[in-house]
Chain A
């Protein structure tokens, strides 16, 4: 398992998309007060810069996380996953577990990359530090659902673009449904994280059956 974890981590860390997403996210967030000043967007009257920027952070997370996950994870799926399992004698479930972990860590890193910008917004708006911590933890809690949805889609489709589009759409729909059924986005994120653990468990439990053999067409 150690070899698989190392390999997935190496593959993920090598992808330029990881650094690109972190830089893009931090840059857009940093440009927000530059563009709108310390009071933020005027039409959002009564909402502090911190609140406005936090909303932007969520939008970026919803858009960027599936794309980042789709770009950084190792590309074996279907028959290639079967071949890798046979070559390494590692069950597909373990390969996918490592992939889920690597994708989640990558997404956590992109959120963490924007942390200095979030802290500066919190300081500028004089918001409680505990609020900042809770909000950032909620964003981090959204990493496992985004990673799980993306890994599911990437495994179920033969095309990377289709997998990303499916993951992006599913992430948006799932996040919207969770937000509608929860009082705050933070609560929705925690609920989604719990659901993603179930979804990941199903994927891992079925992986050794679904990807045991090559498809008959390929063989």
Chain B
């Protein structure tokens, strides 16, 4: 599903990713961890086609993420530190818009809002910054994409919402969604593979026990 080869990204003479190679099958899940500024956020943004690689290739669903940016975006959904502007919309309207744009049923909006514990009728401008992070996660869930890229998805969730989201992620994986989670906490055991980034390189890659073996949810998210 995802094949990354020799991926490098340099920002103003500072190399944040230095030749990353990684491949993930359809329905696979990878937890990316590492200290801050070691390249995790950049890797997620590159996979989300938000930034252009300096060199190397990213192939998602058989499409080149550099030459076919807009078709790749139909395959991926990203929840990370990007802004959502209110524009006088309510939570439900925003999520319905995302679901509609992604050709998902409008019910996906309600499900996503409930998963992250958002009141659907609240105007977005009334949400605190941390709650808008939840909205971003809900939007990515409502998008119903085949590849889910989650950058610190659990930061703004309470324990109950973490459980619900985690349970949903396990089900999504079983339905063939490929999931990449970038986080230092909460994700141990959530994914079937862990990779650790340091100085822009993968320094450690290990497999976990299959999730399907009913690991208690609270242990999955470390809540």
Q: With an 8 A cutoff between CB atoms, is A7 at the interface?
A: yes
Q: With an 8 A cutoff between CB atoms, is B51 at the interface?
A: yes
Q: Are B11 and A85 touching (Cβ within 8 A)?
A: no
Q: With an 8 A cutoff between CB atoms, is A219 at the interface?
A: yes
Selected contact of B88 from candidates A3, A11, A82, A86, CB within 8 Å: A11
Q: Are A74 and B45 touching (Cβ within 8 A)?
A: no
A90 to B100, CA, bound (A): 11
Q: Are A11 and B45 touching (Cβ within 8 A)?
A: no
State whether A86 and B49 are in contact (beta carbons under 8 Å apart), knowing that A3-B100, A91-B70, A216-B11 are contacts in the complex.
yes
Stretch at the interface among B25-33, B55-63, B75-83, B126-134: B75-83
Selected contact of A219 from candidates B50, B83, B101, B139, CB within 8 Å: B50
State whether A89 and B87 are in contact (beta carbons under 8 Å apart), knowing that A208-B70, A216-B12 are contacts in the complex.
no
Q: Are A88 and B97 touching (Cβ within 8 A)?
A: yes
Q: Are A6 and B88 touching (Cβ within 8 A)?
A: no
Q: With an 8 A cutoff between CB atoms, is B93 at the interface?
A: yes
A74 to B12, CA, bound (A): 32
Could you give, for residues 71-109 of chain B, a 1 whenever the CB lies within 8 Å of some chain A CB and a 0 otherwise?
001101110001101011100010001101110000000
Q: Are B98 and A88 touching (Cβ within 8 A)?
A: yes
Could you give, for residues 64-108 of chain A, a 1 whenever the CB lies within 8 Å of some chain B CB and a 0 otherwise?
000000000011100110110111111100000000000000000
Q: With an 8 A cutoff between CB atoms, is B182 at the interface?
A: no
Selected contact of A74 from candidates B51, B69, B85, B101, CB within 8 Å: B85
A90 to B143, CA, bound (A): 12
List 6 tightest A-B contacts by C-beta distance, closest first. Answer: A3-B100, A88-B101, A83-B82, A14-B88, A3-B101, A89-B74
A: residues with CB less than 8 A from B are 2-4, 6-7, 10-11, 14-15, 74-76, 79-80, 82-83, 85-91, 208, 212-214, 216, 219
27 contacts between A and B (CB under 8 A): A6-B97, A6-B100, A7-B93, A11-B89, A14-B89, A74-B87, A75-B85, A76-B87, A79-B83, A80-B85, A82-B50, A83-B83, A85-B70, A86-B76, A87-B78, A87-B82, A87-B98, A87-B140, A87-B143, A88-B97, A88-B143, A89-B74, A90-B101, A212-B52, A213-B49, A213-B52, A219-B11
